Chains A and B, each alone.
Chain A
Amino acid sequence: MTEPEEIDRHQRQTLILGAASLVGVILVVIGTMLVAPMLNRFGFLHFPLGFYLAAQGLLIAIVVAAFLFVKHQDRLDLRREEGEETP
């Protein structure tokens, strides 16, 4: 693959990965906050589910999303470097 194509592909994939991770996390957090009163009917680890998700569950999900993002973006960057290295 030629260098400009590799760069374009890297930028496109970076944009998709970043936008998908961020928009996904924000929508999940807002959606969960809004339906928390309904989720509170269910229990989880002695917590009402809606409260648990807002106080802990979503935070755990955000941490997982952040480290997954870091791992995938590193992989994309490495692929671009290898592509640029190959003549």
Chain B
Amino acid sequence: MIRPTHLRIPNPHLGAYYGIITSAFVSLTIMLALFEQLGAARLWLAYGMLVLPLAIYVAIAAAAQTLDIEDYFASGRRVPPVFNGFVLATVATGGTGYFAYTGTTFLLGFDALAIGLAWAVGLFAATVLFMPFLRKSGAYTLPSFLGHRFRSRTVRIMASVLLVPPTAMLLVAELKAASVVAALFLPFSEGVALITIAVVIAAIALFGGMRSVTWSSSAGFIIGAIGIAVPLIIVAVLVTNLPAPQLTYGETFPSLQNLESILGLGPAQPMPFGEALPVAQPSPSAKPFLQAFGLVGPIDMVALFLCLVLGTASLPSLLTRSGVTPTTSDQRRSGGWAVLFVSLFAMTAPALAAFAKILMLQDLAQPGASAPGWLAQLNATGLGFVRDANGDGAIGGSELFVARDAIALVLPMAANLPFVCTLLMAAGGMGVAIAAASNHLFTIGGSVAEDIIRIVNRSGALPRLTIAWVTIGAVGIAACVFLMFADIDLLRAAIAAFAFAGATFFPVLVLAIWWRRCTQFGAMVAMGTGFAVMVLDAFFGGLSGSGPLQAPIAALIGASLSAAAGVAGSLFGPGLQSAEESYFEDLRDPAGEAIYDRAQRRITAPSS
């Protein structure tokens, strides 16, 4: 007999609301472009383009404010698949992808493409392996799912503690990405920009928890998509006469190869992964764009791909969003949409990098020409410079130093587009970074509140939402303080975070969802082993690239050992409880109400 399904109807006006937000942002862009032509100061244009979207995000979050527990932790389970797909894609790539991936593709060419492929395959893996089952569980956080599955508070607390390092690394990376961009265009120091962005992110997460994070992040996704698409389409029209950059940038390859040859960019030899990965400081392009395995060797590229697949599939900030759709089928569909949106971005980044490279090299290759305008702008902001290393009086391809994370911003400059286009690219990156950061912040704050404080302090003296507000605020402040005293490399922090998440959570989630026989002891040793391998790797310098084992390889070893430990711990440790088995059976049934909601209804039924 079919069990009754708790129907949850998404808001039918969502399309209209986001149509209005999109129109408002497009109108703002057009208006600022007109003001620029009328001679408006760049500073005021920057205020308009970067600060007004912040107001939009906070206003959406305030409008989605809630005191309802299910709304706060699961957005009322009413988010349509497409909108959840928007947010999943935004969290997977983030501002790190927007700025660091485009720059890495510029500097490494083919060798960087494993990253984009890994996001898409990782989201596909999460869609196949985890998301629908987590939706059936209905748990508000990833650790609470593991706690319910294994009927163990210890597993829940342990998972919550282990969730913090990877999610915090991504949180600080996104915070840094957004604040650096803000400080670049607005007359604030990086510290003031950081505090402003942190306040915005904390407000988004505090107002309505998952609900406000979802609706605000959807706007961040739309502004991010417009921000990267519009300047790139204009450049594609200028260079290839067609407004389809992903399809047409191949036409530029003969010219690009010719320019690389003229400017002395010869084939490179593979290097150790830590050295091949570009740094954030201005660095030269050391290989031809199309050369396969020029700096990153085949083994390192496959290891990076697999590490990021595991990390994306088991990223706590993505899986925490598994309870927000109306049904398990919708959750699966939202995974499909997320794969589509991430793939569109992954197809766009190489186009952006190729256009940026050809425009910059064209300017450098012109004999006797004065220094291009974009180079002066890069010099002024410290994001790039040229150095005639061989003293031949000409600038070669390897003598142009550009900051990896600035390539997205350099493209409109190199194409001599209006300043508003550079601001549009910056606003898009900031929108995506803020959306991802608010998700990471809510994931950590929500988990610490739900899975540690509420479990340890069971007296229930404090209301549930008050604990969440305090933890979210505390995590936001901690991230801010950390960034005031420490510097991080966006790309390396993201790879380390994905490596930690993959080694710690991927094996235990596969065992918990797909193996009936897995026990709570097996789950604990699995998580502990994977995390311990990554901590050891970090201790020996693997995360910074100086250790004997690079983070991607360490993550694969950690995940393999974690899976083996989980299986051995389940087979040879304390036996299986019948409650664990019945939860497993329930989990595998795609129909019916979420297990958590059903349990809550049973608890509250007698008193109502």
Contacts and interface: CB of A to CB of B under 8 A. Distances in A.
Contacts of B588: 11, 14
Contact of B120 (A11, A36, A62, A80): A62
A33 B301 contact: yes
A17 B394 CA distance: 58
| Interface-central residue, B123, B343, B346, by most chain A CB under 10 Å | B343
A70 B336 contact: yes
A48 B250 CA distance: 8
A54 B589 CA distance: 37
Interface residues of A, number: 43
A25 B114 contact: no
B194 interface: no
Interface string B112-146: 01101100110111011100100000000000000
Interface string A50-79: 111011101110110111011001100100
B54 to A, nearest CB: 32
A55 B301 CA distance: 14
B590 interface: yes
Contact of A62 (B2, B121, B250, B292): B121
B90 to A, nearest CB: 17
**From DSSP, what is the main secondary structure of chain B's interface residues?**
helix
B322 to A, nearest CB: 15
A25 B123 CA distance: 12
Nearest to B127: A66
Contacts of A26: 121, 306, 309
A11 to B, nearest CB: 6
Contacts of B350: 55
Contact of B347 (A22, A45, A56): A56
Interface of A: 7, 11, 14-15, 18, 21-22, 25-26, 29-30, 33-34, 36-37, 40, 45-48, 50-52, 54-56, 58-60, 62-63, 65-67, 69-70, 73-74, 77, 80-81, 84-85
Given A25-B124, A30-B306, A69-B124, 18 more contacts: A7-B589, A11-B588, A21-B124, A22-B129, A30-B302, A45-B247, A45-B250, A47-B253, A54-B117, A56-B347, A62-B120, A70-B332, A73-B332, A74-B329, A81-B2, A81-B590, A84-B591, A85-B1
